[in-house]
A and B are shown apart, each in its own frame.
Chain A
Amino acid sequence: MSLELFLFYLASAVAVFATLRTITCLNAAHALLYLISSLLSIAVIFYLIGAPFAATLEVIVYAGAIMVLFVFVIMMLNMGKQTVEQERSWLNPVIWIGPGIICTVLLAELVTLLVQKERLLETVIVTPKEVGISLFGPYLLAVELASMLLLAGLVGAYHLGRPLTQKQPGSIK
Chain B
Amino acid sequence: MIAIPVEHCLLLSVMLFCLGLLGVLVRRNIIFVLMSMEIMLNAIGLAFVSGGARWGQADGQVMFLLVITLAAAEVAIGLALVLQLYQRYRTLDIETISKMKG
Report A144 CB to chain B, min CB distance, Å: 12
Docked pose: A5 CA to B7 CA in angstroms:
13
For B64, what are the chain A residues with a Cβ–Cβ distance below 8 Å? 51, 54, 57
On whether the beta carbons of B39 and A23 are closer than 8 Å, the reply is yes
Cross-chain contact of A51 among B14, B28, B52 (Cβ < 8 A)? B52
Docked pose: A95 CA to B29 CA in angstroms:
14
Q: Which residue of B lies closest to A51 (CB)?
A: B49
Q: Which secondary structure characterizes the binding site on chain B?
A: helix
Q: Which residue of A lies closest to B9 (CB)?
A: A49
On whether the beta carbons of A28 and B32 are closer than 8 Å, the reply is yes
Docked pose: A144 CA to B64 CA in angstroms:
16
Report A160 CB to chain B, min CB distance, Å: 4
- With an 8 Å Cβ cutoff, the count of chain A residues facing the other chain is 86
Chain A 140-171 per-residue mask, 1 if CB under 8 angstroms from chain B, else 0 = 00100010011011101100110110000000
B residues near A (Cβ < 8 Å) are 1-12, 14-16, 18-23, 25-29, 31-32, 34-36, 38-39, 42, 45-46, 49-50, 52-54, 56-62, 64-66, 68-77, 79-84, 86-88, 92-93
- Identify 17 new A-B residue pairs, CB closer than 8 A, beyond the known A77-B92, A161-B80: A16-B16, A23-B35, A31-B35, A32-B35, A49-B53, A62-B42, A66-B71, A77-B31, A77-B86, A91-B26, A103-B25, A121-B5, A121-B53, A121-B54, A123-B2, A131-B62, A156-B80
